[in-house]
Amino acid sequence: MPRPRKHRFVSEKPRATYYKPRGIPLAALEEVVLTVDELEALRLADHIGFSQVQTAKRLGISQPTLHRILRSARSKVADALANGKSLRIEGGTYTLPSKRYFECFRCHHHWDEPFGTGRPQHCPQCQSPDLHRLAHTRHNPTP
Ligand SMILES: [Zn+2]
Protein backbone atom coordinates (compact mmCIF):
# COMPACT_ATOMS: atom_id res chain seq x y z
CA MET A 1 0.00 0.00 0.00
CA PRO A 2 1.44 3.36 -0.96
CA ARG A 3 0.08 5.29 2.01
CA PRO A 4 -0.63 4.18 5.55
CA ARG A 5 -4.39 4.39 5.72
CA LYS A 6 -6.88 2.90 8.06
CA HIS A 7 -8.23 -0.41 6.85
CA ARG A 8 -11.93 -0.68 6.18
CA PHE A 9 -13.87 -3.77 7.14
CA VAL A 10 -15.18 -5.57 4.08
CA SER A 11 -17.39 -8.59 4.68
CA GLU A 12 -16.03 -10.68 1.81
CA LYS A 13 -14.16 -10.49 -1.47
CA PRO A 14 -16.18 -9.22 -4.46
CA ARG A 15 -17.99 -11.98 -6.36
CA ALA A 16 -16.92 -10.56 -9.69
CA THR A 17 -14.04 -8.19 -10.28
CA TYR A 18 -14.47 -7.18 -13.91
CA TYR A 19 -17.39 -5.77 -15.90
CA LYS A 20 -17.08 -5.09 -19.59
CA PRO A 21 -19.60 -3.48 -21.92
CA ARG A 22 -20.66 -5.71 -24.80
CA GLY A 23 -19.74 -4.70 -28.32
CA ILE A 24 -16.91 -2.29 -27.62
CA PRO A 25 -13.59 -3.39 -29.09
CA LEU A 26 -10.86 -3.89 -26.54
CA ALA A 27 -8.61 -1.30 -28.14
CA ALA A 28 -11.26 1.37 -27.71
CA LEU A 29 -12.16 0.34 -24.20
CA GLU A 30 -11.42 2.59 -21.27
CA GLU A 31 -11.30 1.23 -17.77
CA VAL A 32 -12.47 2.57 -14.43
CA VAL A 33 -10.98 1.08 -11.27
CA LEU A 34 -13.27 0.81 -8.27
CA THR A 35 -11.57 -0.23 -5.04
CA VAL A 36 -12.91 -3.07 -2.91
CA ASP A 37 -13.78 -0.73 -0.03
CA GLU A 38 -15.63 1.58 -2.44
CA LEU A 39 -17.67 -1.38 -3.67
CA GLU A 40 -18.46 -2.39 -0.08
CA ALA A 41 -19.64 1.16 0.68
CA LEU A 42 -21.93 1.05 -2.37
CA ARG A 43 -23.20 -2.39 -1.44
CA LEU A 44 -24.05 -1.41 2.12
CA ALA A 45 -25.44 2.08 1.48
CA ASP A 46 -27.02 1.81 -1.97
CA HIS A 47 -27.83 -1.87 -2.35
CA ILE A 48 -28.70 -3.05 1.16
CA GLY A 49 -29.94 0.42 2.07
CA PHE A 50 -28.08 0.98 5.32
CA SER A 51 -27.98 4.56 6.57
CA GLN A 52 -24.68 6.40 6.31
CA VAL A 53 -24.29 6.00 10.07
CA GLN A 54 -24.74 2.21 9.84
CA THR A 55 -22.54 1.96 6.76
CA ALA A 56 -19.72 3.97 8.33
CA LYS A 57 -19.94 1.79 11.42
CA ARG A 58 -19.78 -1.44 9.41
CA LEU A 59 -16.76 -0.22 7.48
CA GLY A 60 -15.09 1.11 10.62
CA ILE A 61 -14.69 4.65 9.29
CA SER A 62 -15.95 8.15 10.06
CA GLN A 63 -18.96 9.59 8.27
CA PRO A 64 -16.94 12.25 6.42
CA THR A 65 -14.66 9.47 5.14
CA LEU A 66 -17.67 7.41 4.11
CA HIS A 67 -19.16 10.42 2.35
CA ARG A 68 -15.95 10.84 0.37
CA ILE A 69 -15.76 7.12 -0.49
CA LEU A 70 -19.40 7.04 -1.63
CA ARG A 71 -18.98 10.10 -3.80
CA SER A 72 -15.94 8.62 -5.45
CA ALA A 73 -17.57 5.19 -5.89
CA ARG A 74 -20.81 6.58 -7.35
CA SER A 75 -18.90 8.85 -9.69
CA LYS A 76 -16.80 5.94 -10.98
CA VAL A 77 -19.78 3.64 -11.54
CA ALA A 78 -21.68 6.44 -13.26
CA ASP A 79 -18.67 7.16 -15.46
CA ALA A 80 -18.44 3.51 -16.50
CA LEU A 81 -22.17 3.20 -17.24
CA ALA A 82 -22.57 6.55 -18.94
CA ASN A 83 -19.45 6.32 -21.06
CA GLY A 84 -19.31 2.61 -21.89
CA LYS A 85 -16.17 1.92 -19.91
CA SER A 86 -15.22 -1.33 -18.28
CA LEU A 87 -15.13 -1.57 -14.52
CA ARG A 88 -12.33 -3.29 -12.67
CA ILE A 89 -12.65 -3.91 -8.94
CA GLU A 90 -9.35 -4.13 -7.15
CA GLY A 91 -7.16 -2.60 -4.50
CA GLY A 92 -8.04 -0.24 -1.71
CA THR A 93 -7.29 -0.53 1.96
CA TYR A 94 -9.49 -3.12 3.54
CA THR A 95 -9.56 -6.05 5.91
CA LEU A 96 -11.51 -9.22 5.32
CA PRO A 97 -12.97 -11.30 8.14
CA SER A 98 -10.37 -13.34 9.94
CA LYS A 99 -12.51 -16.46 10.17
CA ARG A 100 -14.20 -18.87 7.80
CA TYR A 101 -17.37 -20.65 8.76
CA PHE A 102 -18.20 -24.28 8.07
CA GLU A 103 -21.16 -26.57 8.48
CA CYS A 104 -21.31 -30.34 8.66
CA PHE A 105 -23.93 -31.92 6.38
CA ARG A 106 -24.32 -34.92 8.63
CA CYS A 107 -24.73 -33.44 12.14
CA HIS A 108 -25.24 -29.76 11.18
CA HIS A 109 -22.51 -28.67 13.52
CA HIS A 110 -21.28 -25.13 12.79
CA TRP A 111 -17.75 -23.99 13.53
CA ASP A 112 -15.15 -21.51 12.38
CA GLU A 113 -11.55 -21.77 11.30
CA PRO A 114 -8.97 -19.03 10.85
CA PHE A 115 -7.82 -18.16 7.34
CA GLY A 116 -4.63 -19.73 6.09
CA THR A 117 -5.04 -23.11 7.77
CA GLY A 118 -6.41 -24.96 4.76
CA ARG A 119 -9.78 -26.58 4.35
CA PRO A 120 -10.78 -28.79 7.30
CA GLN A 121 -10.97 -32.49 6.41
CA HIS A 122 -13.52 -33.60 8.99
CA CYS A 123 -16.27 -32.23 11.15
CA PRO A 124 -14.75 -31.70 14.62
CA GLN A 125 -17.89 -33.11 16.21
CA CYS A 126 -18.79 -36.27 14.24
CA GLN A 127 -15.66 -36.65 12.04
CA SER A 128 -17.75 -36.66 8.84
CA PRO A 129 -15.83 -35.42 5.77
CA ASP A 130 -19.11 -34.16 4.33
CA LEU A 131 -18.87 -30.47 5.11
CA HIS A 132 -19.17 -27.16 3.37
CA ARG A 133 -18.17 -23.58 3.85
CA LEU A 134 -20.79 -21.08 4.93
CA ALA A 135 -20.94 -17.45 3.96
CA HIS A 136 -22.25 -15.74 7.05
CA THR A 137 -23.61 -12.77 5.14
CA ARG A 138 -24.22 -13.97 1.59
CA HIS A 139 -24.03 -17.15 -0.43
CA ASN A 140 -21.38 -17.98 -2.99
CA PRO A 141 -18.26 -16.39 -1.50
CA THR A 142 -15.13 -16.04 -3.60
CA PRO A 143 -12.79 -18.93 -2.73
ZN1 LIG B 1 -20.65 -33.39 11.93
CATH number where 23 lies: 1.10.10
**Is residue 129 one of the residues assigned to a domain?**
yes
Residue-level pLDDT at 5: 65
User: Are residues 29 and 88 located together in one domain of the fold?
Assistant: yes
**What is the mean pLDDT of the segment spanning 106-122?**
87
pTM above 0.85, yes or no: no
Residue-level pLDDT at 18: 95
Ligand 1 centroid–CA 131 distance in Å is 8
Angle at 108 between CA 104 and CA 111, to 5 degrees: 65
Ligand 1 centroid–CA 10 distance in Å is 29
Ligand 1 centroid–CA 142 distance in Å is 24
Domain of 125 in residue numbering reads as 99-134
Ligand 1 centroid–CA 127 distance in Å is 6
